[in-house]
DNA sequence: TTAGAAACGTA
DNA sequence: CGTACGTTTCTAAA
């Protein structure tokens, strides 16, 4: 095994390992508050620490590629020529990684005109000569040739970088059936796609190894090329230049002039004080802990050698959750008294939910947790009283738990912090999706969880309600600490009060008429079947009309239509492309196909809604409060925010949404043009503000300005164009996009935009300003202070950057609209309760609310809704609210 | 069996 | 080459 006398030299291929780490770890989960991606750095350092711990090298170096150019690219220009652009999220991490390594006292090496692997080869050669045991770490197979009795290669497996496969001579022989020094011959014959080095066609590892066995080495094989029969033999004779070239390129250089002595790589004790600042900047809490442990271990060894350890800061190990005490309800009041005194900001609370009902309750202070077994509300008067009181409670992902409480007949109040919502406001790109994520990020600890693969969780290993309560309690102050003041306010004023409102809406659900849906489904099914028959007749065969692949065959091969926009897997067959084709190459098949698509899509929606009707005859969607990065909510299971409304057929689905028993109709209330109004407010554009205050049709008003005509003379076409332009603005629409949407030429679109901005210049200035400010701040902000970070705004990658720019200019607008309707919902719910109405709010569709109206309450409800919605924010323009009522959702639309 | 792409519905 | 979502179906890889 290892020779205790020999010193150990560990050499790492920095680029290849960092790159592996980059792809192994989700980029979204590793970034700092200011948006710097750190997944590659984190993965690399994590692996390095593991190596230092397990291998205990005496000498250490990390080699990097200096650039993409090397003597190999000069020799063969196509070398690695197929490599796509390095992701910018990766690029920026390399200098930071090097900085971190230097802080850790690790030497890094790079050399003009050579690749990192050549440095590995050189150090391995010198190390062997100078009596070292050498460990190489690289993700490049070419380094296999370096393995010998003193040189071992650690190669990352496909899963990532946490597991390294150890290749010594025996392992290479076992894996490849050849000796390490023969590997380049195999690679030369087989070729290396990732390096853009084609090999001999039809020759894989098996064949190459067989030939090596027969003829010794590549030269031998080529010398006997004439004796090899069949297609492969001919391929070999045809491609011998390739093989020779490959062999030349994959030979690593063992004598790069490095101008260093191996002794300089001696591993020094880690200076934690030097490392701490950069690790803090990278927000590597767990890694810092691991490094600290490792360094203290080193110090301990040094101490045994005589020197006293320099007094490093002793880090406490991650505390374990206190063992939950079982508590009876009659003991609860007393416990709560001392607990509340100990935690005035709130107690941690978590509800075990099984099948939607309360199964257990955990409550936590910083030092104690209790578990209350729960039978029924009647058996737990003390618990019920505390839950119903306004005593402050801290939870994680409370909505589900609140619903379970309600179903079990328990009133609830006093939710002050939901850590999941707080974490989302801090990083709205859905990076922390669970308590476990929050515990990891904000405490640097791991939430105990049993293997989810186990059907029966291990006894005691799993975190239950008391543990969840305890971790929630500890996470809360850490998240709040880093939350900017306005964002904390947003949490307290908007997101937290919204939780019980959403819980109530989800519990209520909306009544849906199964019979109508069933009839509609049957009708659509028949229609689709008929259209399919017609479509098949046109092309003389049956294909799967739902298969883009088969459609491409029909359209482009069989019917010879011109190719449409390219997708990753071929050419698009989407509705707009088919419409274009219909214009240029009219064919009845296209019409049938489009209609068939419509019918099947609609039927699919109908069927999934029908399946979602619960036993109470109602559909209960789930709102995702942390659903969208802009601040909007999402709806799922089923999604009730994308029920068709534009097409006549689609609207028939809305006819199935009706008031339930005990109610007389539905009412809808929506903000008209809220995003344009927000744009008017944020930009302060006098023209746009006047447009809204004039109370005239917005698009007519704008059209009159843009086309310099009287409002009365604005034609429908002019109105359409201006409307598309106005709506497109908030999305970062380009002249190209506008021309495409309006089916007008580029020049006309450009002209339209020019005229528009000439009249509404402040809008353009505002949109530009948003992006510029975001580039500086790294985030955008809504009217209410909701932030969204944009790390890609300064990316050198144009696609990424321009995407980020459009997102950035849209976010304050979409986000402010979301803030406003959330505030309105909270106000409406409160006012309805205060007025004692039975009518209730059921659905939210971004700028629309749907209510179920009780008999005789329509007017009172409308007054409340109009008032709360229009006064939710104080803008420079009025917030106009449209209200409608009717027997169905469709009828209630206006 | 699973993950990704394509397609399409809403605001 | 217009933002924000969720769902379904097909497809290729595992």
- CATH number of the domain that A372 lies in? 3.30.420.10
Task: Please indicate, yes or no, whether residues A15 and A126 belong to a single structural domain of this protein.
Answer: yes
From A330, A361, A351, select the one nearest A400 (Cα to Cα): A351
Q: Token digits for A86?
A: 């390095």
Question: In the structure, how far is the CA atom of residue A196 from the C1' atom of nucleotide C12, in angstroms?
Answer: 24
CA–CA dist A240, A97 (Å, integer): 41
* pLDDT for position A346: 97
Q: Among all strands, which nt has the closest C1' to A809 (CA)? A: C3
Strand C close to A431 by CB, under 7 A: no
Strand C close to A737 by CB, under 7 A: yes
Residue nearest B11, CA–C1′ metric:
A846
CA–CA dist A788, A330 (Å, integer): 47
From A46, A142, A59, A44, select the one nearest A98 (Cα to Cα): A44
Asked if A428 and A629 touch (Cβ cutoff 8 Å), the reply is yes
Residue nearest B6, CA–C1′ metric:
A548
CA–CA dist A121, A115 (Å, integer): 10
Task: Please indicate, yes or no, whether residues A2 and A147 belong to a single structural domain of this protein.
Answer: yes
Q: What share of chain A is helix, strand, coil (3-state, %, to 5)?
A: 55, 15, 35
- CATH classification at residue A541: 1.20.1060.10
The span from the first CA to the last CA of chain A, in angstroms, equals: 82
Question: In the structure, how far is the CA atom of residue A266 from the C1' atom of nucleotide C13, in angstroms?
Answer: 46
From A731, A733, A699, select the one nearest A716 (Cα to Cα): A699
Q: Among all strands, which nt has the closest C1' to A641 (CA)? A: B10
**Long-range contacts of range A643-647, CB-CB < 8 Å, 24 or more positions apart?**
A643/A605, A643/A609, A643/A889, A644/A602, A644/A605, A645/A893, A647/A598
Question: In the structure, how far is the CA atom of residue A791 from the C1' atom of nucleotide C5, in angstroms?
Answer: 21
Asked if A465 and A361 touch (Cβ cutoff 8 Å), the reply is yes
CA–CA dist A484, A489 (Å, integer): 9
Q: Residue A792: phi, psi to the nearest 5?
A: -90, 0
Query: Quick one: angle between helices A419-426 and A465-482, nearest 10?
Result: 30
Q: Cis (ω within 30 of 0) for the bond into A608?
A: no
Task: Please indicate, yes or no, whether residues A279 and A342 belong to a single structural domain of this protein.
Answer: no
Residue nearest C8, CA–C1′ metric:
A604
Task: Please indicate, yes or no, whether residues A358 and A284 belong to a single structural domain of this protein.
Answer: no
The enclosing H or E element of A360 equals: strand A357-364
Question: In the structure, how far is the CA atom of residue A548 from the C1' atom of nucleotide C12, in angstroms?
Answer: 14
Residue nearest C5, CA–C1′ metric:
A634
CA–CA dist A118, A254 (Å, integer): 6
Asked if A880 and A659 touch (Cβ cutoff 8 Å), the reply is no
* pLDDT for position A315: 40
Asked if A617 and A510 touch (Cβ cutoff 8 Å), the reply is no
Residue nearest B10, CA–C1′ metric:
A642
Question: In the structure, how far is the CA atom of residue A588 from the C1' atom of nucleotide B8, in angstroms?
Answer: 22
Q: Is residue A807 a part of any domain in this protein?
A: no
Task: Please indicate, yes or no, whether residues A133 and A278 belong to a single structural domain of this protein.
Answer: yes
Q: Token digits for A5?
A: 């006398």
Question: In the structure, how far is the CA atom of residue A454 from the C1' atom of nucleotide C6, in angstroms?
Answer: 30
Task: Please indicate, yes or no, whether residues A371 and A301 belong to a single structural domain of this protein.
Answer: no
Q: Token digits for A215?
A: 């003829």
- CATH classification at residue A783: 1.10.150.20
How far is residue A797 from each of residues A24, A27, A92, A794, measured CA to CA in Å? 22, 16, 12, 9
What's this model's pTM, rounded to 2 decimal places? 0.69
DSSP A235: H
Strand C close to A57 by CB, under 7 A: no
**Per DSSP, what are the bridge partners of residue A362?**
A350, A371
Question: In the structure, how far is the CA atom of residue A606 from the C1' atom of nucleotide B9, in angstroms?
Answer: 12
Task: Please indicate, yes or no, whether residues A329 and A309 belong to a single structural domain of this protein.
Answer: no
Instruction: Give the number of domains in chain A.
Output: 4
Q: Token digits for A476?
A: 């809360």
Question: Which of these three, A599, A619, A639, is where a domain ends?
Answer: A619
Q: Is residue A629 a part of any domain in this protein?
A: no
From A687, A726, A611, select the one nearest A877 (Cα to Cα): A687
Residue nearest B8, CA–C1′ metric:
A601
Question: In the structure, how far is the CA atom of residue A295 from the C1' atom of nucleotide C3, in angstroms?
Answer: 49
Q: Is residue A494 a part of any domain in this protein?
A: no
Question: Which of these three, A596, A619, A642, is where a domain ends?
Answer: A619
Asked if A294 and A270 touch (Cβ cutoff 8 Å), the reply is yes
Q: Among all strands, which nt has the closest C1' to A566 (CA)? A: B6
Asked if A250 and A242 touch (Cβ cutoff 8 Å), the reply is no
CA–CA dist A448, A319 (Å, integer): 12
Q: Token digits for A756?
A: 């528009």
Strand C close to A727 by CB, under 7 A: yes
| Per-residue buried b or exposed e for A847-875, using 16+ beta carbons within 10 Å of the residue's own CB | bbbbbbbbeebbebbbebbbebbeebbeb
CA–CA dist A665, A819 (Å, integer): 28
Q: What is the 3-state secondary structure (H, E, C) of A760-804?
A: CHHHHHHHHHHHHHHHHHCEEECCCCCEEECHHHHCCCHHHHHHH
Strand C close to A803 by CB, under 7 A: yes
Those nucleotides of strand B lying less than 7 Å from any protein Cβ are 5-11
Task: Please indicate, yes or no, whether residues A270 and A343 belong to a single structural domain of this protein.
Answer: no
Domain of A572 in residue numbering reads as 512-619
Strand C close to A732 by CB, under 7 A: yes
Between β-strands A197-198 and A325-326, what pairing exists: parallel, antiparallel or unpaired? unpaired
Question: Which of these three, A314, A333, A361, is where a domain ends?
Answer: A314
Q: Is residue A551 a part of any domain in this protein?
A: yes
Q: Is residue A201 a part of any domain in this protein?
A: no
Asked if A294 and A52 touch (Cβ cutoff 8 Å), the reply is yes
Q: Residues in chain A, how many?
A: 894
Q: Among all strands, which nt has the closest C1' to A634 (CA)? A: C5
Q: Token digits for A280?
A: 């803090």
How far is residue A29 from each of residues A238, A608, A682, measured CA to CA in Å? 49, 33, 32
**Per DSSP, what are the bridge partners of residue A41?**
none
Tell me the pLDDT tens digit for each residue of A692-724. Answer: 998 889 999 999 999 999 999 999 999 999 999
Q: Among all strands, which nt has the closest C1' to A644 (CA)? A: B9
Question: In the structure, how far is the CA atom of residue A89 from the C1' atom of nucleotide B1, in angstroms?
Answer: 32
Alpha-carbon torsion (A724, A730, A733, A735), positive or negative:
positive
Task: Please indicate, yes or no, whether residues A260 and A400 belong to a single structural domain of this protein.
Answer: no
User: Residue A439, Cα to own-chain centre: how many angstroms?
Assistant: 19
Work out the number of other CB atoms within 10 angstroms of the CB of residue A876: 17
Q: Among all strands, which nt has the closest C1' to A734 (CA)? A: C1
Q: Token digits for A506?
A: 């989800």
Question: In the structure, how far is the CA atom of residue A501 from the C1' atom of nucleotide B11, in angstroms?
Answer: 21
The enclosing H or E element of A115 equals: none
Q: Among all strands, which nt has the closest C1' to A788 (CA)? A: C4
Question: In the structure, how far is the CA atom of residue A715 from the C1' atom of nucleotide C3, in angstroms?
Answer: 28
A:545-564 Cβ neighbours of strand C under 7 Å: 546-550
Strand C close to A726 by CB, under 7 A: no
* pLDDT for position A170: 87
* pLDDT for position A4: 57
Strand C close to A632 by CB, under 7 A: yes
* pLDDT for position A395: 98
Q: Where are the alpha helices (DSSP H) in A272-320?
A: 272-282, 285-304
Task: Please indicate, yes or no, whether residues A353 and A415 belong to a single structural domain of this protein.
Answer: yes
Those nucleotides of strand C lying less than 7 Å from any protein Cβ are 1-12
Question: In the structure, how far is the CA atom of residue A143 from the C1' atom of nucleotide B2, in angstroms?
Answer: 34
Q: Among all strands, which nt has the closest C1' to A724 (CA)? A: C2
Tell me the pLDDT tens digit for each residue of A445-481. Answer: 989 875 433 333 344 445 789 999 999 999 999 999 9
The owner of tokens 């650690």 is A154
Asked if A878 and A692 touch (Cβ cutoff 8 Å), the reply is yes
Question: In the structure, how far is the CA atom of residue A403 from the C1' atom of nucleotide B3, in angstroms?
Answer: 33
* pLDDT for position A273: 87
- CATH classification at residue A310: 3.40.50.1010
CA–CA dist A873, A881 (Å, integer): 13
Question: In the structure, how far is the CA atom of residue A536 from the C1' atom of nucleotide C10, in angstroms?
Answer: 19
CA–CA dist A585, A210 (Å, integer): 56
Question: In the structure, how far is the CA atom of residue A640 from the C1' atom of nucleotide B11, in angstroms?
Answer: 12
Residue nearest C3, CA–C1′ metric:
A731
Strand C close to A806 by CB, under 7 A: yes
The enclosing H or E element of A639 equals: none
Asked if A719 and A700 touch (Cβ cutoff 8 Å), the reply is yes
Q: Among all strands, which nt has the closest C1' to A670 (CA)? A: B11
Strand C close to A268 by CB, under 7 A: no
CA–CA dist A116, A125 (Å, integer): 14
Q: Which residues touch strand B (CB under 7 A)?
A: A 548, 567-570, 572-576, 597-598, 601, 605, 639, 641-647, 650, 845-848
Task: Please indicate, yes or no, whether residues A772 and A748 belong to a single structural domain of this protein.
Answer: yes
Q: Among all strands, which nt has the closest C1' to A848 (CA)? A: B11
Q: Among all strands, which nt has the closest C1' to A571 (CA)? A: B6
Q: Residue A373: phi, psi to the nearest 5?
A: -70, 140
Q: Token digits for A395?
A: 């939870």
Asked if A61 and A11 touch (Cβ cutoff 8 Å), the reply is yes
Q: Among all strands, which nt has the closest C1' to A737 (CA)? A: C1
* pLDDT for position A698: 94
Asked if A120 and A143 touch (Cβ cutoff 8 Å), the reply is yes
Q: Is residue A100 a part of any domain in this protein?
A: yes
Q: Cis (ω within 30 of 0) for the bond into A136?
A: no
Q: Is residue A37 a part of any domain in this protein?
A: yes
User: What radius of gyration do chain A's Cα atoms show?
Assistant: 34
Q: What is the 3-state secondary structure (H, E, C) of A853-888?
A: ECCCCHHHHHHHHHHHHHCCCCCCCCCCEEEEEECE
Average pLDDT of adjacent 10-residue blocks, chain A of 894 residues: 74 91 76 83 88 89 90 82 72 90 94 94 96 93 93 77 78 85 90 76 82 86 85 84 88 93 90 89 85 67 33 54 94 96 97 92 97 90 97 98 96 98 94 92 84 39 85 97 95 98 97 96 95 94 92 93 91 93 94 94 94 96 95 96 93 96 97 96 96 92 96 94 93 92 92 95 95 93 96 87 94 97 98 98 97 98 98 97 97 90
The string of DSSP codes covering A686-704 is HHHHHHHHHTS-HHHHHHH
Question: In the structure, how far is the CA atom of residue A192 from the C1' atom of nucleotide B7, in angstroms?
Answer: 36
Question: In the structure, how far is the CA atom of residue A475 from the C1' atom of nucleotide C2, in angstroms?
Answer: 38
Q: Among all strands, which nt has the closest C1' to A565 (CA)? A: C1
Task: Please indicate, yes or no, whether residues A29 and A73 belong to a single structural domain of this protein.
Answer: yes
* pLDDT for position A457: 38
Asked if A543 and A554 touch (Cβ cutoff 8 Å), the reply is yes
Q: Is residue A886 a part of any domain in this protein?
A: no
Question: In the structure, how far is the CA atom of residue A407 from the C1' atom of nucleotide B9, in angstroms?
Answer: 32
Q: What is residue A31's three-state secondary structure? A: strand
* pLDDT for position A462: 59
């Amino acid at each position: 095994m290892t020779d205790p006398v020999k010193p150990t030299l560990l050499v790492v291929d920095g680029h290849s390992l960092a790159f592996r780490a980059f792809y192994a770890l989700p980029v979204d989960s590793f970034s700092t508050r200011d948006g710097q991606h750190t997944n590659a750095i984190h993965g690399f350092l994590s692996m390095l620490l593991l190596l230092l711990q397990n291998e205990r090298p005496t000498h250490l170096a990390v080699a990097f590629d200096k650039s993409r150019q090397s003597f190999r690219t000069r020799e063969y220009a196509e070398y690695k020529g197929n490599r796509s652009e390095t992701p910018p999220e990766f690029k920026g991490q390399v200098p930071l990684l090097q900085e971190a390594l230097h802080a850790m006292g690790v030497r890094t090496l790079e050399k003009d005109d050579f690749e990192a692997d050549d440095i590995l080869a050189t150090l391995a050669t010198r190390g062997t000569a100078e009596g070292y045991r050498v460990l190489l770490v690289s993700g490049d197979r070419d380094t296999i040739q370096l393995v010998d009795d003193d040189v071992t290669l650690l190669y990352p497996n496909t899963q990532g970088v946490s597991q390294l496969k150890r290749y010594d001579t025996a392992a290479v022989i076992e894996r490849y059936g050849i000796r390490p020094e023969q590997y380049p011959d195999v690679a030369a014959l087989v070729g290396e796609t990732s390096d853009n080095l084609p090999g001999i066609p039809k020759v894989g590892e098996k064949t190459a190894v067989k030939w090596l066995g027969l003829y010794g080495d590549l030269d031998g094989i080529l010398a006997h090329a004439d004796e090899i029969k069949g297609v492969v033999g001919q391929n070999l004779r045809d491609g011998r230049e390739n093989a020779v070239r490959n062999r030349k390129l994959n030979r690593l250089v063992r004598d790069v002039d490095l101008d260093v002595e191996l002794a300089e790589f001696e591993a020094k004790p880690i200076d934690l004080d030097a490392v701490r600042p950069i690790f803090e900047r990278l927000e590597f809490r767990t890694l810092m802990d691991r490094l600290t442990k490792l360094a203290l271990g080193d110090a301990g060894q040094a101490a045994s050698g005589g020197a006293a350890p320099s007094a490093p800061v002793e880090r406490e190990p991650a505390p374990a959750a206190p063992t939950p005490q079982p508590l009876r309800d009659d003991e609860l009041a007393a416990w709560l008294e001392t607990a509340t005194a100990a935690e005035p900001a709130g107690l941690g609370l978590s509800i075990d939910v099984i099948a939607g009902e309360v199964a257990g309750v955990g409550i936590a202070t910083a030092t104690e947790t209790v578990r209350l077994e729960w039978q029924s509300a009647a058996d737990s008067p003390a618990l019920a009283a505390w839950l119903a009181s306004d005593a402050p409670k801290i939870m994680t992902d409370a909505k589900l738990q609140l619903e379970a409480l309600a179903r079990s007949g328990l009133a609830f109040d006093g939710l002050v912090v939901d850590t999941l919502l707080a974490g989302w406001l801090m990083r709205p790109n859905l990076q922390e999706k669970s308590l476990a994520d929050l515990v990891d990020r904000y405490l640097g600890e791991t939430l105990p969880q049993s293997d989810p693969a186990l059907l029966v969780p291990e006894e005691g290993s799993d975190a239950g309600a008391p543990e969840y309560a305890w971790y929630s309690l500890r996470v809360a102050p850490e998240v709040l600490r880093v939350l900017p003041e306005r964002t904390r306010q947003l949490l307290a004023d908007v997101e937290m009060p919204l939780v019980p409102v959403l819980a109530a809406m989800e519990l209520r659900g909306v009544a849906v008429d199964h019979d109508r849906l069933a009839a509609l489904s049957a009708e659509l099914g028949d229609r689709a079947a008929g259209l399919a028959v017609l479509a098949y007749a046109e092309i003389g065969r049956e294909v799967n009309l739902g298969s883009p692949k088969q459609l491409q065959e029909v359209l482009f091969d069989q019917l010879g239509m011109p190719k449409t926009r390219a997708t990753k897997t071929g050419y698009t067959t989407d509705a707009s492309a088919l419409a274009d084709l219909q214009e240029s190459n009219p064919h009845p098949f296209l019409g049938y196909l489009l209609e068939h698509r419509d019918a099947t899509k609609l039927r699919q929606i109908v069927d999934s809604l029908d399946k979602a009707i619960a036993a109470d005859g109602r559909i209960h969607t789930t709102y995702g409060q942390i659903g969208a990065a802009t601040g909007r909510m999402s709806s799922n299971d089923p999604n009730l925010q994308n029920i068709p409304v534009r097409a006549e057929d689609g609207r028939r689905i809305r006819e199935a949404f009706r008031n339930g028993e005990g109610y007389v109709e539905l009412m809808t209330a929506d903000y008209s043009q809220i995003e344009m109004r927000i744009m008017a407010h944020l930009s302060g554009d006098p023209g746009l503000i006047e447009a809204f205050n004039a109370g005239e049709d917005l698009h007519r008003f704008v059209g009159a300005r843009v086309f310099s005509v009287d409002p009365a003379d604005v034609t429908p076409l002019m109105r359409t164009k201006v409307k598309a332009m106005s709506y497109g603005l908030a999305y970062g629409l380009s002249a190209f996009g506008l021309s495409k949407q309006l089916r007008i030429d580029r020049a006309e679109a450009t002209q339209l935009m020019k005229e528009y901005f000439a009249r509404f210049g402040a809008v353009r200035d505002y949109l530009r300003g948003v992006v510029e400010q975001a580039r500086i701040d790294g985030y955008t902000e809504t009217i209410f202070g909701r932030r969204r970070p944009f790390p890609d705004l300064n990316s050198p990658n144009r696609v990424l950057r321009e995407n980020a720019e459009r997102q950035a200019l849209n976010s304050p607008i979409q986000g402010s609209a979301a803030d406003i309707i959330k505030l309105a919902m909270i106000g409406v719910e409160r006012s309805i309760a205060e007025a004692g109405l039975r009518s209730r709010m059921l659905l939210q569709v971004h700028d629309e609310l749907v209510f179920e109206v009780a008999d005789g309450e329509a007017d009172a409800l409308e007054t409340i809704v109009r008032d709360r919605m229009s006064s939710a924010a104080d803008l420079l323009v009025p917030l106009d609210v449209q209200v409608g009522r009717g027997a169905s959702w469709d009828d209630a639309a206006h």
